[in-house]
Chains A and B, each alone.
Chain A
Amino acid sequence: MTIAAKGTGTRGGPTGLLRYRLDLKASPYLYIAPFFVLFAVFGLFPLAFTAWVSTHEWSLLSDEHAFIGLGNYETLLSDPYFWNALGNTMSILVLATVPQLFAALLLAHLLTMRLRAQTFWRMGMLLPNVASVVAVAVIFSQLFGRDFGLINWVLESLGAGRIDWQAGSATSHVAIAVMVAWKWTGYNALIYLAAMQAVPREVYEAAHLDGASRMQQLFHVTVPMIRPTIVFTVIVSTIYGLQIFAEPQLFGGGGQNGVTGGASRQFQTLTLYLYEHGFNRGFEFGYASAVAWTMFAVIVLVALLNYLFIRRIRSAS
């Protein structure tokens, strides 16, 4: 600092020194300011303000915003459609996440081997992730079609009957879960692969000497070693899964049937429910905000539960 100050001092005199000091002190804050300001305005403020709006009878169409306390929440919690949406979301979340992360682990394990054309396989796995959720939803809606879908045709030729995927609660959840899993399995496999490559080789040497098979090594050596990464992917997948929107909406055909998640709301998720009240009919901003804030609470709760659950596994093993 002193040397550097001298360096500039000789050039610019006292004003140069002042400018140098100012530059040194203020620059860092100036450089991080754009992020914090823009994030505050377009990210944090709207999220926080949601809580405020949720305590009002607030609609886009009227200028009056009457304070009604927890009124919106009371309506929400007594609406069976809300509980339906919550149940659907949880069901899709579990169906999509558990098999997906499990498959990702196995694939990552496979990728740690001495493969030829390593990059090629990795890129193949990431390919689905490139397609947008809209594209994924549209393509799979075609594949899962009742009358002309390829999947039903395969089922039929295997001797199983045709399934009306959209009509049932369980079947529609499976179809939506497949869309999510297809897009994200390879992505998570790459994250696990990165984690696995960082596990010290000595650990495997020891396991190998003890006669552990490859599979035993995966579950007794690798999984405990990469636990932080697993926690991370579980939480990120949960946050994503609880906000699923495009897949069910487009699976339902995009129109009103999509917004309600099927004729009997068999696959309406929480975000669809929010969208229905906030933007699809009457712009009930107050009520929709209560939905959003409740979802926020659910996300925090589920993420926390996941975290605690996985910690328990650690202490148990």
Chain B
Amino acid sequence: MTASDLVDLSADSSPGGRAADGRGSTDSRRPVRTALPGRPGRRARARLRALREQPGRLAYLTLVAVLFFSGFPLYYSFVVASRDNSALATVPPPVLPGANLVENVERVFATVPFGTALVNSVIVSGTVTASVVFFSTLAGFAFAKLEFKGAKVLLVSVVATMMVPVQLGVIPLFMLMVELEWTDTLWAVIAPGLVNAFGVFFMTQYLRGALPGSLIESARMDGASTFRIFWQIVMPAARPAAVVLGVLTFLTAWNDYFWPLIVLSSPENQTVQVALSTLSGGYVTDQSLVLTGTMLATLPLLAVFALLGKYMISGIMQGAVKG
């Protein structure tokens, strides 16, 4: 598949793209803002409703089963985290929470510098998220609303890079970090995450629809510089998409493991995921200890998910790509 195919595929003609609201709109200039999935217009909704099938009992039963399988492993990690290690060896295995949670949490903090790891992860994910959102909005604005030579080719190359498995460049990347003397520092983890192609593409798509060209024209006539237009008009207009992109980026950064494992070595510089793997890497695996750590590392994400999960869903449905 060529990159231009992909631009095509993920832009107007894409079923996963903006037309996803059921209106079937393929006009690229149509405001995306009103076309967030799950919010079809009233008339379209009525039409949809008339045709969509009423779900039967079997449908709900299946959904409940899916929900059970989705939630159970996470629930079970809580069960193990609240139990004494020896309780896990009983037959049948425990399926209800026990009373050792606090003790296990204390043991996690005593075994690895988990607090530091949490702080490190917040620093890394926070910086990466802010940077990705800012630079993606900036580039997205240029691609969506400004005219310049080579814009089309450059945008195609952005989309093409979404598919490039950059993870395979770890060896020279590591050598580069050695050169920069950044190994075993958070910089080594932050730097490669500062921009990503998906963000640029996502923002371009969004701003194309959300930003009326006339608004920019009139700002120009008032003598506003391009940067001022960006700062005062584009940034506020991009806010809904920025939330979506921000949540997705934060999750990806928080969960990143392969590269941090390679480049961060000392315990006080580890991120949460690396600290977790240290916990589970002992000779005698202490399951309740490991799963308490897992639970602690997952809880912040579950909180974010509970608050902003709706936005994540709309982001993914607008044609998100695995991070």
Question: Which of A's residues lie within 8 Å of B, judged by CB?
Answer: 3-4, 7-8, 11-12, 23-25, 27-29, 31-32, 34-36, 38-39, 41-50, 53, 60, 107, 110, 112-115, 118-119, 121-128, 130-136, 138-143, 145, 147-150, 153, 157, 182, 184, 186-187, 190-191, 193-201, 204-205, 214, 225-226, 228-229, 231-232, 235-237, 239-240, 242-243, 245-246, 249-250, 253-255, 258, 271, 274-275, 278-279, 285, 288-289, 292-293, 295-296, 299, 303, 307
Contacts and interface: CB of A to CB of B under 8 A. Distances in A.
Contacts of B52: 112-114
Interface stretch (B66-74, B98-106, B236-244): B66-74
Contacts of A190: 313, 316-317
Contact of A34 (B95, B138, B294, B309): B138
B169 A235 contact: no
Given A49-B172, A114-B49, A153-B91, A231 B195 contact: no
Contacts of B200: 32, 35
B89 interface: yes
Nearest to B199: A35
B73 A140 contact: yes
Interface in B132-176: 135-136, 138-139, 141-143, 146-148, 151, 154, 158, 161, 163-176
Contact of B139 (A23, A35, A48, A279): A35
Nearest to A33: B139
Given A38-B194, A182-B69, A235-B1, 19 more contacts: A28-B148, A31-B141, A34-B195, A35-B135, A35-B136, A47-B165, A53-B171, A107-B66, A119-B313, A126-B316, A153-B93, A182-B73, A186-B70, A194-B318, A196-B15, A197-B37, A254-B277, A274-B170, A292-B171
Tell which of B48, B52, B89, B143 has the most Cβ of chain A within 10 Å. Answer: B52
Contact of A229 (B14, B38, B54, B141): B14
Nearest to A42: B192
A191 B16 contact: yes
B135 A34 contact: yes
Interface in B238-281: 251, 254-255, 257-258, 262, 273, 276-278, 280-281
B113 interface: no
B53 A253 contact: no
Contact of A135 (B13, B14, B136, B276): B276
5 contacts: A47-B164, A121-B67, A194-B317, A197-B20, A232-B10
B294 A135 contact: yes
A279 B59 contact: no
B74 A139 contact: yes
Judged by DSSP, the binding face of B is helix
Interface residues of B, number: 124
Contacts of B95: 150
A292 B161 contact: no
A27 B227 CA distance: 8
B221 A46 contact: no
Interface of A is mostly: helix
A28 B148 CA distance: 7
A253 B280 contact: yes
A12 to B, nearest CB: 8
Which of B54, B95, B164, B320 is most buried by chain A, counting CB atoms within 10 A of its CB?
Answer: B164
Contacts of B211: none
B255 A123 contact: no
